[in-house]
């Protein structure tokens, strides 16, 4: 089935914790649609994230804030339909989990029921810990998200690296403890110093998944459009591009245009 792992078992929260204990790294990428998700799953990916980064790469917005619950649910269902083995995690969009535990639980239940995803990802620590506790207590697995939290971009004012100073790094380590106590099974650490990510990873039983957080986290996540090189204009230091799909797709489309214009396509074999 996959090119890397022979283990065809569905990836669950239990498997995440086994992987952390064994030191087997967890691979995670975003996906927003059925076709991309089924390719990623069949390639042996451990976890698929329906990220609200869809706002950037699918819709063309400059932030993740505009994504709605209905839009996330629509994408979530398409991804779940394409995935057999990987764990499917879906982002709670901006405003759906922000300090009102009853309302957050309502949104969380809708997301789980209407998408069929395996877990939710929620940005934030102490400020929304009661919301997270309530969601976990309802039997919903939660992956936290600390460090750079794109839903808070208007508060930060930039996408620069987070937790470089003592105050913010202490807060991050304290939030890690709170998330673990609240029952999160995993946490994304975005754009923080590699040393801090290493300390955070050693300090917790949750599986840490890094993006721009160095090599010591229990796993890595990237936005699939970025790592496939579909987006020429985005090249942060942490991003490794595994393909140049921008060029591949542009060449293919240009050839198609030429073939249509020159009457080469469709030919006799391609006609009924
Ligand atoms: O929305 C997203 O794609 C994410 C990842 C970058 C972790 O949150």
Q: Does 160 share its domain with 45?
A: yes
How large is the average pLDDT for residues 121-149? 98
Task: Give a yes or no: residue 2 inside a domain.
Answer: no
Kindly give, in sequence order, each residue whose CB lies less than 8 Å from that of residue 264, ignoring residues fewer than 6 positions away. 258
Check residue 6 and give its pLDDT.
72
Q: Does 211 share its domain with 228?
A: yes
Task: Give a yes or no: residue 6 inside a domain.
Answer: no
Q: Is 97 in the pocket of ligand 1 (CB under 6 A)?
A: no
Check residue 133 and give its pLDDT.
98
| Other Cβ atoms closer than 10 A to 230 | 19
Q: Which helix (H) or strand (E) segment is 69 a member of?
A: helix 69-82
Task: Give a yes or no: residue 91 inside a domain.
Answer: yes
3-state secondary structure of 147: strand
Question: Active-site residue 102, yes or no?
Answer: no
For residue 271, the enclosing domain spans 244-272
- Whether the pLDDT of residue 202 is over 90: the answer is yes
Residue minimizing CA distance to atom 8 of ligand 1:
51
Q: Does 260 share its domain with 228?
A: no
Q: Does 220 share its domain with 271?
A: no
Task: Give a yes or no: residue 67 inside a domain.
Answer: yes
Q: Does 28 share its domain with 127?
A: yes
Give me the percent of the chain exceeding a pLDDT of 90: 97
Nearest to 98 by CA among 47, 30, 149: 149
Q: Does 64 share its domain with 169?
A: yes
Tell me which residue has tokens 């089924």. 38
- Whether the pLDDT of residue 65 is over 50: the answer is yes
Dist. CA 150 → ligand 1 center (Å): 8
CATH of the domain at 158: 3.20.20.60
Task: Give a yes or no: residue 150 inside a domain.
Answer: yes
Secondary structure (DSSP) of 174-231:
HHHHHHHHHT-SEEEEES--HHHHHHHHHH-SSEEEEESS-S-SSEEEE-HHHHTT--
Task: Give a yes or no: residue 109 inside a domain.
Answer: yes
Q: Which helix (H) or strand (E) segment is 247 a member of?
A: helix 245-261
Q: Does 250 share its domain with 234?
A: no
**What's the pLDDT band for 4 if we cut at 50, 70, 90?**
low
Secondary-structure breakdown of the chain: helix, strand, coil percentages, each rounded to the nearest 5 = 45, 15, 40
Between CA 33 and CA 224 the distance in angstroms is 11
Which of 126, 127, 168, 190 does the annotation list as catalytic?
A: 190
Task: Give a yes or no: residue 5 inside a domain.
Answer: no
Q: Does 265 share its domain with 156?
A: no
Q: Is 52 in the pocket of ligand 1 (CB under 6 A)?
A: yes
Task: Give a yes or no: residue 114 inside a domain.
Answer: yes
The atom of ligand 1 lying closest to the CA of 123 is 8
Between CA 84 and CA 18 the distance in angstroms is 20
Q: Is 169 in the pocket of ligand 1 (CB under 6 A)?
A: no
Q: Does 153 share its domain with 269?
A: no
pLDDT 10s digits, 222-241 = 999 999 999 999 999 999 99
Check residue 7 and give its pLDDT.
82
φ and ψ at 64, to 5 degrees? -90, -5
How large is the average pLDDT for residues 49-54? 98
Task: Kindly state the DSSP code that residue 10 receives in the 8-state scheme.
Answer: P
Q: Does 219 share its domain with 259?
A: no
Q: Give the side-chain half-sphere CA count within 13 A for 79.
A: 31
Domain total of the chain: 2
Between CA 243 and CA 169 the distance in angstroms is 34
Between CA 112 and CA 170 the distance in angstroms is 33
Dihedral of the CA atoms 189, 191, 197, 200 (nearest 10)? -40
Check residue 64 and give its pLDDT.
98
Q: Is 211 in the pocket of ligand 1 (CB under 6 A)?
A: yes
Lowest mean pLDDT among 4-18, 51-65, 71-85, 139-153: 4-18
């Amino acid at each position: 089935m996959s090119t890397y792992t022979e283990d065809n078992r569905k990836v669950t929260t239990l498997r995440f914790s086994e992987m952390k204990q064994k030191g087997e790294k967890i691979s995670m990428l975003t996906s927003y649609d059925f076709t991309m998700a089924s390719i990623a799953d069949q390639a042996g990916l451990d976890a698929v994230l329906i990220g609200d980064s869809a706002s950037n790469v699918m819709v063309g917005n400059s932030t993740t804030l505009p994504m709605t619950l209905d839009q996330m649910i629509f994408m979530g269902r398409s991804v779940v339909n394409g995935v057999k083995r990987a764990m499917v995690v879906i982002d709670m969009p901006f405003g759906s989990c922000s300090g009102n535990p009853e309302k957050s639980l309502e949104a969380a239940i809708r997301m789980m029921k209407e998408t069929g995803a395996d877990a939710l990802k929620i940005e934030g620590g102490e400020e929304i810990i009661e919301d997270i506790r309530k969601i976990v207590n309802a039997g919903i697995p939660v992956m936290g998200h600390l460090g750079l939290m794109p839903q808070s971009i208007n508060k930060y004012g930039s996408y620069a690296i987070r937790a470089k100073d003592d105050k913010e790094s202490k807060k991050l380590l304290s939030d890690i403890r709170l998330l673990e106590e609240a029952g999160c099974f995993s946490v994304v650490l975005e754009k923080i110093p590699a040393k801090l990510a290493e300390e955070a990873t050693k300090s917790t039983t949750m599986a840490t998944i890094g993006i721009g957080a160095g090599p010591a986290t229990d796993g890595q996540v990237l936005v699939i459009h970025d790592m496939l090189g579909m987006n020429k204009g985005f090249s942060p230091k942490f991003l490794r591009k595994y393909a140049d799909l921008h060029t591949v797709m542009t060449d293919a489309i240009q050839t198609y245009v030429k073939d249509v214009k020159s009457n080469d396509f469709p030919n006799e074999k391609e006609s009924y």
